[in-house]
Amino acid sequence: MDFLEKKFAKLGAENAPGQEGRQKIKEIEMRGEKLTGTPVDFSHGDVDAFEPIPGSLDDFIEGVHIGGKQAYTEYRGSKTIREDTAQKLAQFTGANIDADQNLIITPGTQGALFLAMGSTVARGDKVAIVAPDYFANRKLVEFFDGEVVPVKMDYFDTTTGAGLDLTQLEDAFKAGVRLFLFSNPNNPTGVIYSEDEINGIGKLAQQYGVTVIADELYSRQIFEGKTYTHLCAQNTIDPEKVLTIMGPSKTESLSGYRLGVAFGSSEIIDRMEKLQAIVSLRAGGYSQAVMKSWFSEPEGWMAERIAQHQAIRDDLLTTLRTADGFKVRATEAGSYLFPRIPELDITIEEFVKVLRLQAGVIVTPGTEFGSQFTDSFRINFSQDHKAAVAAMERLVKIVELYRL
């Protein structure tokens, strides 16, 4: 295999959410009958069950009617929309954000992640990545020919926050890591880093001159009793060494418009814009107009959405904790759960396929988040409440059928 063949062999996407139709896993003999019920695709949120922010389509249509000025914005995004967004994000996070220097609008948060990594990872660079964390993080490092240095997060230890091993993180920094990328709340576990953890990260990064990219995609959906700490507002680290990524694709259900933002380091933002110019020019011009609805939701809309998700979480936790051999930590923010299942006599990839074919339930295998997570799966429970609970009950039955 030549260099690119090897690179793209590692960049498999067929187990990624939404790609089930392209899976090439061998047939498995089915045990027992099909389990009927409303099919549920837990690989991503259901924007039919939780609809986009009211008025978002109107904002888009208004963008189309503005015409050429909205279709062809600067590569970093429309100036007026950046100004509005910067002001709202500054208020939300407590950080200083200059709309002209410190913010770029991107095609989804995935777009922001890609541009940020392309702007900071050179060939051979060591990049610290939490295990488990969002599956694209590892793939991005590998695509840019960097080297992943995993840092353990013991997410079942509820005493310290998310459970990040700060000693291992410092060892990684000492060993030459120049960049640390992490999601908070963590994807796939839904746990929040404590203030101590965030300050620990900030101080270590400052001490060792490490740049930090914080993916805060789900940071608005915080469940009762939990608090959230924005690294960018803690003053522990040079602001030019921090980049924060957010977007309205999850809690706000605007994924179909492909919108995200990165804010922070002006040097990284400048590079991201140069890269954007050759990647896809800009976030869709008319879509950018939809940013107006973000952080401007109708009174009570966000509180209700959070309460509805917390109720689904609680029912799923009950189902999982009643089942034999499952282990799960309660989601603290966002819509992910990352349960550990009892030992099966099929692989996790086979389990995922059986579950889809026999029970109409799609989940993401734990191995997408780190090769060691062969006993776990991720769900996004932003789904129809009843259908989600029934689907989880079917999942528990499937586990029973294929247990060792």
Binding stretches for its own copies (CB under 8 A): 2-4, 7-8, 11-13, 16, 18-19, 21-22, 44, 46-48, 52, 57, 60-61, 63-64, 67-68, 70-75, 79, 106-108, 110-111, 113-114, 119-120, 122-123, 136, 139-140, 143, 145, 255-258, 270-271, 273-275, 277-287
SS (H, E, C) 280-300: CCCCCHHHHHHHHHCCCCCCC
Q: Are 237 and 209 in contact (CB under 8 A)?
A: no
For strand 126-131 and strand 147-152, is the pairing parallel, antiparallel, or unpaired?
Answer: parallel
CB of 380 to its own copies, least distance (A): 11
Give the nearer residue to its own copies in terms of CB position, either 10 or 327: 10
Give the nearer residue to its own copies in terms of CB position, either 111 or 200: 111
CB of 320 to its own copies, least distance (A): 24
CB of 374 to its own copies, least distance (A): 22
Give the nearer residue to its own copies in terms of CB position, either 287 or 376: 287
CB of 282 to its own copies, least distance (A): 8
CB of 381 to its own copies, least distance (A): 15
CB atoms within 10 A of CB 67: 11
Task: State the residue for tokens 């796939």.
Answer: 188
Tokens of 294: 């973000």
Give the nearer residue to its own copies in terms of CB position, either 161 or 370: 370
Tokens of 56: 């978002």
CB atoms within 10 A of CB 376: 24
Q: How far is CA 177 from CA 122, 129, 136, 340, 372, in A?
A: 12, 10, 19, 30, 22
CB atoms within 10 A of CB 375: 16
Give the nearer residue to its own copies in terms of CB position, either 260 or 334: 260
Tabulate helix, strand, coil % of the chain (nearest 5).
40, 15, 45
CB of 119 to its own copies, least distance (A): 7
CB atoms within 10 A of CB 145: 13
Give the nearer residue to its own copies in terms of CB position, either 18 or 325: 18
Adjacent-strand bridge partners of 401:
none
283 exposure class (CB count in 10 Å sphere: 0-12, 13-18, 19+): buried
* Torsional sign, CA 227, 232, 237, 242: positive
CB of 20 to its own copies, least distance (A): 9
> Distance between CA atoms of 399 and 6, rounded to whole angstroms?
35
Give the nearer residue to its own copies in terms of CB position, either 107 or 161: 107
